[in-house]
A and B are shown apart, each in its own frame.
Chain A
Amino acid sequence: MLFLEGIEYRIWDPRRSKLGAMVLKKFEVPLRKDSRVLYLGAATGTTVSHVSDIVSEGAVYAVEFSARSMRNLLGLADRRKNIHPILADAGRPERYAHLVGAVDVIFQDVAQPNQAEIAAKNAARFLKKEGFLLLSLKARSIDTTASPKQVFKNEVKKLEEAFEPKFEILKARELAPFHEDHLGLIAKIRVSENEKI
């Protein structure tokens, strides 16, 4: 933590946070101070704490699967009233549907082989029509044999076509040198043609 002219600054290490890396990679991170964010794969809360800073009048629903990580996250959630910790599998959003409601942003960093599907399931349930999905894809947790480039291509295609809702990718960029073989993505729910008319 730093103090400059009476203002408190926190250090945000892009190598420890995918979102931090995305900021440095010139993603326009669509977080406002009243945003409500569904954060999937909260781990011990390194990034969640920064999101919580930004959405000072909003909320972060922090979903994490591992009880061990959640234990650390709870310390943070105890102090910060805008973090709602949820111990659950992000692949089963129906289990926390009664808690979450609608959100402006879904941030997902779960390092799972079925990341695209998890994103779609959660977006279908919770993401507002005009909301954003931010995603960090880890090539090695999806397929260890294919090249990262190929994996990314497949995953993008999945996001665009395979599930409901289908996404429109606004920006995709690798997060190297902060995170090797990770792709950062920002997407919106694609409005289907007949709905547009």
Chain B
Amino acid sequence: MTSMPHLRDHLPFDHPLSPRDGFPHLPFLARMLVHYRADDLWQEDTRHLPASMAALRRKARVFAERYLIPASADIDLAPHPAIGQCHPKAHEILVEAGRQGWLSYFLPPPLGAMDWGRVSHAPVMQCCLVVEEFTRACGGLMLLLSAHHLGVMPLLLSGSPGVLLKFVRPIYQRCQRGDPHLVAFAITEPGAGSDAEDGHGAARYRPGVVATPVPGGYRLKGRKCFISGGDLAQSITVFAALQGEGMESWTCFYVDAGSPGFSVVRTEQKMGMRASGAAELEFNDVFVPDDRIIGGLRHGWALNRATLNASRMPVASMGVGFARAATEAAIDFARSCTLGGKPLLEYQDVQLHLATMVAETRAIRAMVWQEARHAWRPRQLRASACKFHATDRAQKVCEMAMDLMGDRASLHENRVEKIFRDVRLTRIFEGTNQINRLSLIEDWQGELLSGPSGPFVTGV
């Protein structure tokens, strides 16, 4: 008889045949090689990170658990808000997130809130850690907070100290004061979703949002759609073609949402991620002064693609966060729901199911971390591979969680159905997963075509 808690069809740790019983009794050197401390997986993974990154991960989790989880269900269930309205709880979260630096952590002080101890780590990796924690708590609130970084990204990547000082600093400072200034990123047009993400399509697309030169700047005309956070943003990085030119003339304009001629014409009722608005924006001869051209005329396409390369790994992390949340919910269910007098966790098929979910989740996290850690200059191939693979697999894990929970999975209060609705988006935005697959190949074609032929030569 054992006093240790154990599952019926597995040996307790103090059984003579349990390796956990055997390892501590091996000779010292052998113990050094094989005897491990089994800890909570999240804690263990966090400990293995560099100290400053571990601190970031812990801090993000604390914030997510304290602020996002309690508000998540209510905001998801709330009626669709009128244009420009923000759920009061979401507003509180934005304010608090701003104060704590979650809206300004891509730069260190005095511009932003990134801890100086982390400047030697790729910002994309930092973002991945944060996004996973926020996503696990609430997909919609995560997107509300993350779309802002996407909006700011072209400003950061412009490489212009002037842009950082003139535009990014005030945004970040307001956020840190608790008066959030949100920025949205606008590339998608009614006629161009994939064509705004994929060069082959863009080359054939006649631009919908056009910038006409006028004294002192440009006037923007046209519509952007599905813009995350576009309903609440005070400013937007808008990509537009120059009058009479094609997509190669795309230029990034930093548009003030208070400008005459700008309006939010519609917000979408979405399947999930409901805490974040997706807006259709109209530009009716919106004047944008020359000094709000970001990255230079006709550099917009490159800036767009660079932004996507930076943001697709964090999107992959959304997948990790959802898979993790679904797995955690399934574990909790398997422990608490009983059938025939024993918890579901006691059933072998349930154990197989959970083991697969945990492994899937950890596999996609390993992939994202592996790529993001070195993503100082994120490569398209790597970013796209992470994005489509992690999000595809994450949906699978969510489906597994639903299967395990059966009809209870469909109740809102059990969280998994929301996670499923939320995760579904990650396979569509930031380029559909089909476009991301093509994007991987686009970036790889050099090696594929010009490298030596024959097996065993192309690095994978």
Are A and B interaction partners?
Answer: no
Interfacial residues, chain A to chain B (CB-CB below 8 A): none
Interfacial residues, chain B to chain A (CB-CB below 8 A): none
